Amino acid sequence: MEDIVDQELSNYWEPSSFLQNEDFEYDSWPLEEAISGSYDSSSPDGAASSPASKNIVSERNRRQKLNQRLFALRSVVPNITKMDKASIIKDAISYIEGLQYEEKKLEAEIRELESTPKSSLSFSKDFDRDLLVPVTSKKMKQLDSGSSTSLIEVLELKVTFMGERTMVVSVTCNKRTDTMVKLCEVFESLNLKILTSNLTSFSGMIFHTVFIEFILALQFIC
Amino acid sequence: MEDIVDQELSNYWEPSSFLQNEDFEYDSWPLEEAISGSYDSSSPDGAASSPASKNIVSERNRRQKLNQRLFALRSVVPNITKMDKASIIKDAISYIEGLQYEEKKLEAEIRELESTPKSSLSFSKDFDRDLLVPVTSKKMKQLDSGSSTSLIEVLELKVTFMGERTMVVSVTCNKRTDTMVKLCEVFESLNLKILTSNLTSFSGMIFHTVFIEFILALQFIC
DNA sequence: CAGAACACGTGAAGC
DNA sequence: TGCTTCACGTGTTCT
């Protein structure tokens, strides 16, 4: 009566049949025509692409895609208890919630760790006399020491003039979130002619040494 | 032909029909028998629980459960682009991967923050009088300033102690023939545990910064 | 056998 | 127009 195309239930779950060959290539779609070979053979219709039966193949593809995604979801979630379609999603949900909670916890911990450092007053003052600290520019204000969060906490700022053309700016600061990026942004925003720059991260600090062309620099810094 | 029980497609997506009443109560299952009321009326069979058609109601429940889960998954994932069943899972996957990456980053950051010599008291004091130029070692003699040819002409030698484990040696010298090589040879011959080293050549000078593990270093330098 | 879980084909709705 | 997505009922397999 309606037992057309009735076979191909060799395995319980679709993905395991042909997907483990491609091994985690979920987005490659529509995965060639791996199935059609085993399916078109049983198609009784002479017309290759019957108008009605064009839907059933795309439906197959849709199901297959969904199963692929589900399989992929299962692979990124550790501690999968059951292979159930529903259980996979359930585990994924609780896993996501766990990650979100952990992330908040870690961020809070970081925020707490970053708020403690303080001090470092003594030697930053001591280094002042080392050589002229030109933190008068508007942009350079961002480098000001003692800033609480998300700003650059400068521990040492040393400027050395070499000859008449160049100066060497040496900055030591605590390594916080995206401190390197902010440092680079500050220097880039100054539109200086940077000859060479050197960034070293170590022991929770960042050592930055920049060689700057002098003539262009003065109008911005002083 | 087989259009038994063919109605009830009032809304596109199942969940929105009856689920928004219970409003996010995913795990309460099997959600009573909300549907059966509207369905059993169309059942032609006199028997209340027909043997074959008992499957279709559990199938409905299965589908409903799966959609609930999918809906729940969608609700915990921000930035959902499309409402597609497949897209929901896809977004969930990339979101999970993003969370995992962020978690690793935050953990690394915390690890780094915790490893910083915490007691900023001790080493900020050490920073005050850095220096001390320990050029008494035999090998270090090569670094002596004022040498004429083929030796390293040291212009500045600064030693900073960081915490109790590491020290930073900063050398500035004139760039002569093979000065870089000699510098490297000197430091290598000292058998120090060098954590990181940095060589910059500019304007006829060489700036060399070396981070050295402290415990091993003492026996050679002092 | 009952129950759960799945893939399939099909008709319908929206873009 | 055609393409996509969906829910549905059904038959099958495994527990």
Closest residue to B195, CB basis, from A90, A123, A202: A202
The count of CB pairs under 8 A between chains A and B is 132
One-letter-per-residue 3-state SS of B63-129:
HHHHHHHHHHHHHHCCCCCCCCHHHHHHHHHHHHHHHHHHHHHHHHHHHHHHHCCCCHHHHHHHHHC
Whether residue B91 lies inside any domain: the answer is yes
pTM of the model: 0.52
Query: Does B76 score more than 90 pLDDT?
Result: yes
Distance CA A206, CA A209 (A): 10
Residue A183 placed within a domain: yes
C-beta atoms of A100 and B163 within 8 A: no
In a domain, A98, yes or no: yes
Q: Which residue has the higher pLDDT, A86 or B163?
A: A86
What is the C-alpha to C-alpha distance for residues A195 and A166, in angstroms, rounded to an integer?
9
Q: What share of chain B is helix, strand, coil (3-state, %, to 5)?
A: 45, 15, 40
Work out the angle between the directed axes of helices B85-115 and A85-115 (0-180°, nearest 10): 30
Q: Which helix H or strand E contains B141, and what residues bound it?
A: none
The enclosing domain of B203 has a CATH number of 3.30.70.260
Could you read off the pLDDT of B15-64 as tens digits, one per residue? 433 333 333 333 333 433 333 333 333 334 444 456 677 888 889 999 99
Q: Is residue B48 in a domain?
A: no
In B, which residues are within 8 Å of A166 by CB distance? 202-203
DSSP state of A28: S
CA of A8 to C1' of D9 (A): 20
pLDDT for B220 beyond 60:
no
Strand D, CB < 7 A, residues 47-106 of B = 52-53, 55-56, 59-60, 63-64, 67, 83-86
Asked whether residue A13 is domain-assigned, the answer is: no
Which residues form the domain of B192? 154-213
Report for B51-55, B171-175, B185-189: range of highest mean pLDDT: B171-175
Are A139 and A146 spatial neighbours (Cβ–Cβ below 8 Å)? no
Residue ending a domain, among A115, A141, A163, is: A115
Asked if the peptide bond before residue A30 counts as cis, ω within 30 degrees of 0, the response is yes
Q: Is B198 helix (H, G, I), strand (E, B) or coil?
A: strand
Of B107, B121, B162, the CB nearest to A119: B121
Q: Considering A68, A92, A115, which residue would you say is the last residue of a domain?
A: A115
Nearest to B103 by CA among A116, A95, A129, A93: A95
Over residues A14-72, the pLDDT tens digits come to: 443 333 333 333 333 333 333 333 333 334 444 446 667 788 889 999 999 999 999 99
Note whether A109 and A160 are same-domain residues: no
- Report the DSSP beta bridge partners of residue B208: B171, B199
Has residue B68 been placed in a domain?
A: yes
From start to end of chain A, where are the E strands?
154-162, 166-174, 194-202, 205-213
Q: What is the CATH number of the domain that holds B102?
A: 4.10.280
In a domain, A133, yes or no: no
CA angle A149, A151, A156 (to 5 degrees): 115
Distance measured from the CA of protein residue A6 to the C1' of nucleotide D14, in angstroms? 19
Write the pLDDT tens digit of every residue in A136-193: 333 444 444 444 445 788 888 888 877 777 788 888 888 877 788 888 888 877 877 8
Q: What's the number of domains chain A is made of?
A: 2
From first CA to last CA, the distance across chain A in angstroms is 91
Please compute the mean of the pLDDT values over residues B132-146 and round it to a whole number.
40
Q: Element (H or E) spanning B182, and its range?
A: helix B179-189
In a domain, residue A4? The reply is no
